[in-house]
Amino acid sequence: MREFLFGPAYQKEQVTLTIAGGGTGKTSLCIAEAVAMASGTDFLETPTRPLRVWIYNGEEPLDELDRRVRAAAIAQGLDHAELRESLFVNSGRGAKRIDLSKSVQNKGMQVNDELVRSLIDSIRGRIDVVIVDPFISTHSISENDNSGIDMMAKAWARIAEEGGCAVHLVHHTSKGGSSDSADASRGASSLAAAARYVRNLAQMSGAEARTSGVGEEERQSHVAIRVTKQNNTAVAGTRWIRLSAVAIGNDPDSGKPGDIVGVVQPFKPKVVEVDLTEWASAALDALGDSRHVYNFGSEKWFGFAVADQLGIDGKANRRQIESLIDFMLNLAAIETYNDPGKNTRERLCIRGVGPYATMRKEVAATPASRRVAAGKRKAAADALSTSDREDDPVAVEEA
Protein backbone atom coordinates (compact mmCIF):
# COMPACT_ATOMS: atom_id res chain seq x y z
CA MET A 1 0.00 0.00 0.00
CA ARG A 2 1.32 3.48 -0.89
CA GLU A 3 2.39 5.43 2.16
CA PHE A 4 2.21 9.23 2.05
CA LEU A 5 4.21 10.58 4.97
CA PHE A 6 3.32 14.26 4.53
CA GLY A 7 0.89 14.44 1.66
CA PRO A 8 1.99 13.25 -1.79
CA ALA A 9 5.13 15.42 -1.69
CA TYR A 10 6.74 12.88 0.66
CA GLN A 11 6.13 9.26 -0.31
CA LYS A 12 7.83 6.32 1.34
CA GLU A 13 10.33 4.53 -0.92
CA GLN A 14 9.83 7.11 -3.70
CA VAL A 15 11.66 10.15 -5.08
CA THR A 16 9.67 13.39 -5.30
CA LEU A 17 10.74 16.81 -6.54
CA THR A 18 10.31 20.54 -5.91
CA ILE A 19 11.20 22.85 -8.81
CA ALA A 20 11.46 26.59 -8.21
CA GLY A 21 13.30 29.74 -9.16
CA GLY A 22 15.09 32.13 -6.86
CA GLY A 23 13.14 34.07 -4.27
CA THR A 24 10.21 31.65 -4.09
CA GLY A 25 11.00 30.22 -0.64
CA LYS A 26 11.77 26.67 -1.75
CA THR A 27 14.35 26.07 0.99
CA SER A 28 12.17 27.74 3.63
CA LEU A 29 9.20 25.62 2.55
CA CYS A 30 11.12 22.35 2.78
CA ILE A 31 12.58 23.30 6.17
CA ALA A 32 9.10 24.22 7.43
CA GLU A 33 7.78 20.88 6.21
CA ALA A 34 10.72 19.09 7.87
CA VAL A 35 9.95 20.81 11.18
CA ALA A 36 6.27 19.86 10.86
CA MET A 37 7.11 16.23 10.11
CA ALA A 38 9.66 16.02 12.93
CA SER A 39 7.12 17.40 15.42
CA GLY A 40 3.99 15.78 14.02
CA THR A 41 2.17 19.08 13.42
CA ASP A 42 -0.15 19.86 10.50
CA PHE A 43 1.63 22.71 8.74
CA LEU A 44 -0.18 23.65 5.50
CA GLU A 45 -3.12 21.60 6.81
CA THR A 46 -1.24 18.40 5.98
CA PRO A 47 -1.72 15.80 8.71
CA THR A 48 1.29 13.76 9.76
CA ARG A 49 2.74 11.75 12.61
CA PRO A 50 6.13 12.42 14.22
CA LEU A 51 8.81 11.36 11.74
CA ARG A 52 12.59 11.25 11.71
CA VAL A 53 13.81 13.71 9.11
CA TRP A 54 17.27 14.36 7.67
CA ILE A 55 17.99 17.57 5.76
CA TYR A 56 21.09 17.61 3.58
CA ASN A 57 21.78 21.12 2.28
CA GLY A 58 24.69 21.54 -0.08
CA GLU A 59 24.74 25.35 -0.19
CA GLU A 60 24.20 26.82 3.29
CA PRO A 61 26.67 26.60 6.22
CA LEU A 62 25.48 24.72 9.28
CA ASP A 63 25.02 27.82 11.45
CA GLU A 64 22.69 29.37 8.86
CA LEU A 65 20.71 26.15 8.60
CA ASP A 66 20.35 26.14 12.38
CA ARG A 67 18.94 29.69 12.25
CA ARG A 68 16.44 28.69 9.58
CA VAL A 69 15.27 25.63 11.52
CA ARG A 70 14.84 27.77 14.65
CA ALA A 71 12.82 30.31 12.68
CA ALA A 72 10.56 27.63 11.19
CA ALA A 73 9.96 26.19 14.66
CA ILE A 74 9.03 29.62 16.05
CA ALA A 75 6.67 30.26 13.12
CA GLN A 76 4.87 27.00 13.96
CA GLY A 77 4.74 27.69 17.70
CA LEU A 78 7.32 25.03 18.56
CA ASP A 79 10.37 24.88 20.80
CA HIS A 80 13.52 24.22 18.80
CA ALA A 81 14.72 21.86 21.54
CA GLU A 82 11.78 19.53 20.86
CA LEU A 83 13.30 18.63 17.49
CA ARG A 84 16.69 17.36 18.66
CA GLU A 85 15.74 13.68 18.54
CA SER A 86 13.85 13.78 15.25
CA LEU A 87 15.36 16.42 12.93
CA PHE A 88 18.94 16.05 11.71
CA VAL A 89 20.69 18.64 9.56
CA ASN A 90 23.95 18.40 7.61
CA SER A 91 25.72 20.91 5.41
CA GLY A 92 27.57 19.91 2.27
CA ARG A 93 29.89 22.89 2.57
CA GLY A 94 33.48 21.69 2.85
CA ALA A 95 34.71 18.12 3.24
CA LYS A 96 31.33 16.56 4.12
CA ARG A 97 29.85 16.91 0.65
CA ILE A 98 27.85 13.96 -0.70
CA ASP A 99 28.81 13.10 -4.29
CA LEU A 100 26.95 10.11 -5.69
CA SER A 101 29.00 10.25 -8.89
CA LYS A 102 32.58 9.24 -9.52
CA SER A 103 34.89 9.27 -12.51
CA VAL A 104 35.92 5.81 -13.72
CA GLN A 105 38.75 5.39 -16.20
CA ASN A 106 37.51 4.52 -19.69
CA LYS A 107 33.90 4.62 -18.46
CA GLY A 108 33.33 8.27 -17.61
CA MET A 109 31.03 9.27 -14.77
CA GLN A 110 29.44 6.40 -12.85
CA VAL A 111 27.43 5.90 -9.66
CA ASN A 112 29.47 5.86 -6.47
CA ASP A 113 28.02 2.52 -5.33
CA GLU A 114 30.06 2.43 -2.14
CA LEU A 115 28.61 5.74 -0.98
CA VAL A 116 25.09 4.71 -2.01
CA ARG A 117 25.36 1.53 0.06
CA SER A 118 26.75 3.51 3.00
CA LEU A 119 23.82 5.95 2.87
CA ILE A 120 21.31 3.11 2.68
CA ASP A 121 22.87 1.43 5.72
CA SER A 122 22.83 4.72 7.66
CA ILE A 123 19.23 5.55 6.75
CA ARG A 124 17.48 2.18 7.00
CA GLY A 125 15.47 1.99 10.21
CA ARG A 126 16.73 5.38 11.43
CA ILE A 127 15.37 7.98 8.99
CA ASP A 128 11.87 8.32 7.51
CA VAL A 129 12.40 11.34 5.23
CA VAL A 130 15.47 12.68 3.41
CA ILE A 131 15.40 16.20 1.95
CA VAL A 132 18.20 17.02 -0.52
CA ASP A 133 18.60 20.74 -1.26
CA PRO A 134 19.67 21.20 -3.98
CA PHE A 135 19.95 18.00 -6.03
CA ILE A 136 22.85 19.45 -8.02
CA SER A 137 25.03 19.48 -4.91
CA THR A 138 25.05 15.67 -4.75
CA HIS A 139 26.75 14.89 -8.06
CA SER A 140 29.40 16.16 -10.48
CA ILE A 141 27.54 15.50 -13.73
CA SER A 142 26.56 18.12 -16.29
CA GLU A 143 22.93 19.15 -15.85
CA ASN A 144 22.39 18.74 -19.59
CA ASP A 145 23.55 15.12 -19.56
CA ASN A 146 20.22 13.28 -19.61
CA SER A 147 21.66 9.81 -19.14
CA GLY A 148 23.94 11.02 -16.34
CA ILE A 149 21.15 12.86 -14.50
CA ASP A 150 18.90 9.83 -14.92
CA MET A 151 21.65 7.72 -13.35
CA MET A 152 21.86 10.07 -10.34
CA ALA A 153 18.07 10.22 -9.95
CA LYS A 154 17.93 6.43 -9.97
CA ALA A 155 20.69 6.32 -7.35
CA TRP A 156 18.48 8.40 -5.05
CA ALA A 157 15.51 6.19 -5.97
CA ARG A 158 17.56 3.17 -4.88
CA ILE A 159 18.35 4.91 -1.59
CA ALA A 160 14.64 5.62 -1.08
CA GLU A 161 13.58 2.06 -1.81
CA GLU A 162 16.32 0.13 -0.03
CA GLY A 163 16.55 2.66 2.80
CA GLY A 164 12.79 2.53 3.37
CA CYS A 165 12.46 6.32 3.33
CA ALA A 166 10.98 9.18 1.32
CA VAL A 167 13.53 11.17 -0.70
CA HIS A 168 12.58 14.71 -1.70
CA LEU A 169 14.90 16.56 -4.09
CA VAL A 170 14.97 20.34 -4.59
CA HIS A 171 15.94 21.68 -8.02
CA HIS A 172 16.19 25.07 -9.70
CA THR A 173 13.96 26.36 -12.47
CA SER A 174 15.74 26.75 -15.77
CA LYS A 175 17.15 30.23 -16.24
CA GLY A 176 14.51 32.49 -17.71
CA GLY A 177 12.09 29.59 -17.93
CA SER A 178 8.54 29.08 -16.79
CA SER A 179 7.79 27.08 -13.66
CA ASP A 180 4.42 25.85 -14.88
CA SER A 181 5.41 22.33 -15.87
CA ALA A 182 7.43 19.36 -14.72
CA ASP A 183 9.93 20.16 -17.50
CA ALA A 184 10.81 23.57 -16.03
CA SER A 185 13.83 22.22 -14.13
CA ARG A 186 17.24 23.46 -15.16
CA GLY A 187 19.10 21.02 -17.40
CA ALA A 188 18.13 17.43 -18.03
CA SER A 189 14.44 16.56 -18.16
CA SER A 190 15.22 13.04 -16.97
CA LEU A 191 15.17 14.22 -13.34
CA ALA A 192 11.49 15.18 -13.53
CA ALA A 193 10.79 11.99 -15.45
CA ALA A 194 12.29 9.89 -12.62
CA ALA A 195 10.26 11.59 -9.87
CA ARG A 196 6.85 10.21 -8.91
CA TYR A 197 5.61 13.66 -7.92
CA VAL A 198 6.72 17.11 -9.07
CA ARG A 199 5.59 20.45 -7.68
CA ASN A 200 6.54 23.92 -8.88
CA LEU A 201 6.73 27.14 -6.90
CA ALA A 202 5.95 30.44 -8.62
CA GLN A 203 5.37 33.97 -7.42
CA MET A 204 1.81 35.25 -7.64
CA SER A 205 1.06 36.95 -10.95
CA GLY A 206 -0.55 40.36 -11.24
CA ALA A 207 -3.84 38.83 -12.40
CA GLU A 208 -3.84 36.35 -9.51
CA ALA A 209 -3.19 39.17 -7.07
CA ARG A 210 -6.17 41.12 -8.39
CA THR A 211 -8.49 38.12 -8.01
CA SER A 212 -7.09 37.17 -4.57
CA GLY A 213 -7.27 40.49 -2.74
CA VAL A 214 -3.47 40.93 -2.61
CA GLY A 215 -1.91 44.35 -3.19
CA GLU A 216 0.76 44.80 -5.85
CA GLU A 217 3.37 45.68 -3.22
CA GLU A 218 2.78 42.32 -1.50
CA ARG A 219 2.35 40.16 -4.58
CA GLN A 220 5.91 38.82 -4.80
CA SER A 221 5.79 37.55 -1.23
CA HIS A 222 2.92 35.19 -2.14
CA VAL A 223 3.91 31.93 -3.80
CA ALA A 224 1.81 29.26 -5.50
CA ILE A 225 2.54 25.56 -5.01
CA ARG A 226 1.33 23.76 -8.13
CA VAL A 227 1.47 20.04 -8.77
CA THR A 228 2.76 19.40 -12.29
CA LYS A 229 3.25 15.64 -12.10
CA GLN A 230 1.57 13.06 -9.90
CA ASN A 231 1.74 9.34 -10.59
CA ASN A 232 0.37 7.87 -7.40
CA THR A 233 -2.72 9.92 -6.56
CA ALA A 234 -5.09 12.52 -8.01
CA VAL A 235 -3.64 15.95 -8.73
CA ALA A 236 -4.31 18.44 -5.96
CA GLY A 237 -5.31 22.04 -6.54
CA THR A 238 -3.02 25.03 -6.13
CA ARG A 239 -1.94 25.83 -2.58
CA TRP A 240 -0.39 29.09 -1.46
CA ILE A 241 2.28 30.21 0.98
CA ARG A 242 3.32 33.66 2.12
CA LEU A 243 6.97 34.61 2.65
CA SER A 244 7.46 36.21 6.04
CA ALA A 245 10.18 36.58 8.69
CA VAL A 246 10.58 36.11 12.43
CA ALA A 247 13.12 37.16 15.05
CA ILE A 248 14.81 34.09 16.50
CA GLY A 249 16.11 35.64 19.75
CA ASN A 250 19.61 34.24 19.37
CA ASP A 251 21.32 37.13 21.18
CA PRO A 252 19.39 37.40 24.48
CA ASP A 253 22.21 39.16 26.38
CA SER A 254 22.04 42.20 24.09
CA GLY A 255 18.35 42.77 24.71
CA LYS A 256 17.78 42.71 20.95
CA PRO A 257 15.40 40.36 19.10
CA GLY A 258 18.27 38.61 17.34
CA ASP A 259 18.52 37.66 13.68
CA ILE A 260 15.48 38.15 11.46
CA VAL A 261 15.08 34.98 9.41
CA GLY A 262 12.76 34.18 6.52
CA VAL A 263 9.94 31.68 6.98
CA VAL A 264 6.84 30.59 5.09
CA GLN A 265 3.27 30.70 6.33
CA PRO A 266 0.12 29.14 4.87
CA PHE A 267 -1.99 31.57 2.85
CA LYS A 268 -5.57 31.32 1.62
CA PRO A 269 -6.48 33.76 -1.15
CA LYS A 270 -9.74 35.61 -0.77
CA VAL A 271 -12.45 34.88 -3.30
CA VAL A 272 -12.80 38.21 -5.06
CA GLU A 273 -15.77 38.88 -7.30
CA VAL A 274 -14.71 39.86 -10.78
CA ASP A 275 -16.44 41.86 -13.48
CA LEU A 276 -17.15 39.12 -15.99
CA THR A 277 -17.73 41.56 -18.83
CA GLU A 278 -14.07 42.57 -18.51
CA TRP A 279 -12.96 38.94 -18.51
CA ALA A 280 -15.19 38.12 -21.46
CA SER A 281 -13.10 40.28 -23.75
CA ALA A 282 -10.04 38.20 -22.88
CA ALA A 283 -12.07 35.03 -23.38
CA LEU A 284 -12.95 36.08 -26.91
CA ASP A 285 -9.25 36.54 -27.60
CA ALA A 286 -8.69 33.00 -26.32
CA LEU A 287 -11.14 31.44 -28.79
CA GLY A 288 -8.86 31.56 -31.82
CA ASP A 289 -9.13 28.67 -34.28
CA SER A 290 -8.50 25.91 -31.75
CA ARG A 291 -11.02 23.30 -30.67
CA HIS A 292 -12.28 23.98 -27.13
CA VAL A 293 -14.20 21.57 -24.88
CA TYR A 294 -17.01 22.57 -22.50
CA ASN A 295 -16.23 20.05 -19.76
CA PHE A 296 -13.67 20.79 -17.06
CA GLY A 297 -12.73 17.10 -17.08
CA SER A 298 -10.95 17.53 -20.42
CA GLU A 299 -7.42 18.81 -20.89
CA LYS A 300 -8.87 20.91 -23.76
CA TRP A 301 -11.38 22.65 -21.49
CA PHE A 302 -12.03 26.16 -22.82
CA GLY A 303 -11.33 27.54 -19.35
CA PHE A 304 -7.65 26.64 -19.60
CA ALA A 305 -7.29 28.78 -22.75
CA VAL A 306 -9.13 31.61 -20.98
CA ALA A 307 -6.85 31.28 -17.95
CA ASP A 308 -3.75 31.46 -20.14
CA GLN A 309 -5.09 34.63 -21.75
CA LEU A 310 -5.73 36.18 -18.32
CA GLY A 311 -2.45 34.99 -16.82
CA ILE A 312 -4.13 33.07 -13.99
CA ASP A 313 -4.30 29.46 -12.84
CA GLY A 314 -7.23 27.67 -14.46
CA LYS A 315 -7.78 25.08 -11.75
CA ALA A 316 -7.51 27.54 -8.88
CA ASN A 317 -10.00 29.91 -10.57
CA ARG A 318 -12.28 27.23 -11.99
CA ARG A 319 -15.53 28.54 -10.50
CA GLN A 320 -14.97 32.10 -11.71
CA ILE A 321 -14.12 30.85 -15.20
CA GLU A 322 -17.16 28.56 -15.31
CA SER A 323 -19.31 31.57 -14.39
CA LEU A 324 -17.67 33.48 -17.22
CA ILE A 325 -18.42 30.70 -19.72
CA ASP A 326 -22.07 30.56 -18.63
CA PHE A 327 -22.25 34.36 -18.80
CA MET A 328 -21.03 34.30 -22.42
CA LEU A 329 -23.42 31.48 -23.33
CA ASN A 330 -26.34 33.51 -22.02
CA LEU A 331 -25.17 36.50 -24.05
CA ALA A 332 -24.99 34.24 -27.12
CA ALA A 333 -21.41 35.39 -27.61
CA ILE A 334 -20.44 31.71 -27.69
CA GLU A 335 -22.36 28.50 -28.23
CA THR A 336 -21.97 24.79 -27.64
CA TYR A 337 -21.97 22.13 -30.34
CA ASN A 338 -21.50 18.37 -30.46
CA ASP A 339 -18.44 16.81 -32.04
CA PRO A 340 -19.76 13.27 -32.62
CA GLY A 341 -16.36 11.81 -33.40
CA LYS A 342 -15.08 12.32 -29.86
CA ASN A 343 -15.59 10.48 -26.59
CA THR A 344 -18.23 11.62 -24.09
CA ARG A 345 -15.89 13.94 -22.19
CA GLU A 346 -14.60 15.59 -25.38
CA ARG A 347 -17.86 15.68 -27.36
CA LEU A 348 -19.45 18.94 -26.19
CA CYS A 349 -17.41 21.86 -27.55
CA ILE A 350 -17.50 25.67 -27.57
CA ARG A 351 -17.19 28.12 -30.46
CA GLY A 352 -17.82 31.78 -31.12
CA VAL A 353 -21.09 33.02 -32.59
CA GLY A 354 -20.98 35.47 -35.47
CA PRO A 355 -18.20 37.89 -36.37
CA TYR A 356 -15.59 38.65 -33.74
CA ALA A 357 -16.40 42.39 -33.71
CA THR A 358 -20.10 41.66 -33.16
CA MET A 359 -19.32 39.42 -30.20
CA ARG A 360 -17.14 42.12 -28.63
CA LYS A 361 -19.85 44.74 -29.13
CA GLU A 362 -22.44 42.46 -27.51
CA VAL A 363 -20.26 41.93 -24.46
CA ALA A 364 -19.36 45.61 -24.10
CA ALA A 365 -23.02 46.66 -24.29
CA THR A 366 -24.13 44.39 -21.46
CA PRO A 367 -25.49 46.51 -18.57
CA ALA A 368 -24.13 46.07 -15.07
CA SER A 369 -27.43 44.55 -13.93
CA ARG A 370 -26.73 41.52 -16.12
CA ARG A 371 -23.20 40.91 -14.88
CA VAL A 372 -22.70 37.66 -13.07
CA ALA A 373 -20.78 37.55 -9.78
CA ALA A 374 -17.84 35.16 -9.80
CA GLY A 375 -18.61 31.80 -8.29
CA LYS A 376 -22.40 32.06 -8.92
CA ARG A 377 -23.43 29.63 -11.64
CA LYS A 378 -26.05 30.43 -14.27
CA ALA A 379 -27.92 27.83 -16.28
CA ALA A 380 -26.17 26.97 -19.54
CA ALA A 381 -27.85 26.80 -22.91
CA ASP A 382 -31.09 24.77 -23.12
CA ALA A 383 -29.34 22.14 -25.20
CA LEU A 384 -27.04 21.20 -22.32
CA SER A 385 -27.96 18.45 -19.90
CA THR A 386 -26.99 18.58 -16.25
CA SER A 387 -24.46 15.81 -16.85
CA ASP A 388 -22.61 17.57 -19.63
CA ARG A 389 -20.23 19.41 -17.35
CA GLU A 390 -18.21 16.90 -15.38
CA ASP A 391 -16.65 17.55 -12.01
CA ASP A 392 -13.97 14.89 -12.37
CA PRO A 393 -10.40 16.17 -12.25
CA VAL A 394 -8.32 16.07 -15.39
CA ALA A 395 -7.16 12.51 -15.89
CA VAL A 396 -3.52 11.85 -15.06
CA GLU A 397 -1.60 9.19 -16.89
CA GLU A 398 0.37 6.65 -14.92
CA ALA A 399 4.03 6.52 -15.83
Question: By mean pLDDT, which of 195-204, 322-331, 353-362 is the weakest?
Answer: 353-362
Q: Is the pLDDT of residue 6 over 90?
A: yes
Are residue 258 and residue 312 in the same domain, yes or no? no
Asked whether residue 262 falls in the same domain as residue 317, the answer is no
**pLDDT tens, position by position, 132-150:** 999 999 999 998 899 999 9
For residue 387, is it within any domain?
no
Are residues 287 and 201 part of one domain? no
Among residues 239, 267, 295, the one where a domain terminates is 267
Last residue of a domain, one of 267, 298, 318: 267
Average pLDDT, the chain: 83
pLDDT in tens, 76-110: 999 999 999 999 999 999 778 999 999 999 899 99
Strand, coil or helix: what is 365? coil
Q: Is 10 part of any domain?
A: no
- What is the C-alpha to C-alpha distance for residues 105 and 124, in angstroms, rounded to an integer? 32
Residue 394 lies in a domain: no
58 with 192, same domain: the answer is yes
282 and 230 both lie in a single domain? no
Q: What is the CATH number of the domain that holds 291?
A: 1.10.10
Same domain for 257 and 294, yes or no, is no
Does residue 71 lie within any of the structural domains? Answer: yes
Q: What confidence tens digit (pLDDT) does each residue in 294-307 have?
A: 988 888 999 999 99
Range of 127's domain? 15-267
Chain CA centroid to CA 146, Å? 23
Report the pLDDT averaged over residues 244-269.
91
356, containing H or E segment: helix 356-364
- Check residue 44 and give its pLDDT: 82
Q: Within this chain, do residues 94 and 227 fall inside the same structural domain, yes or no?
A: yes
pLDDT of residue 212: 78
Q: How far apart are CA 287 and CA 309, in angstroms?
A: 10
Q: Mean pLDDT, to the nearest integer, of 176-183?
A: 49
Mean pLDDT of 194-200: 94
- pTM comes to 0.71
Q: How many domains does the chain have?
A: 2
Burial of 384 (0-12, 13-18, 19+ CB in 10 A): middle
Query: In this structure, what CATH number is given to the domain that contains residue 141?
Result: 3.40.50.300
Identify whether residues 226 and 340 lie together within a single domain.
Answer: no
Query: Going along the chain, which residue ranges are E strands?
Result: 15-20, 53-57, 87-91, 101-104, 108-111, 129-133, 166-172, 197-203, 222-230, 239-247, 260-267, 292-293, 334-338, 348-352
So what's the pLDDT on residue 361? 57
Q: Tell me, yes or no, whether 383 lies in a domain.
A: no
Both 321 and 222 in one domain: the answer is no
Per cent of the chain over pLDDT 70 is: 81
Q: Does the pLDDT of residue 225 top 60, yes or no?
A: yes
Three-state DSSP state, 218: helix
Do 119 and 259 lie in one domain? The reply is yes
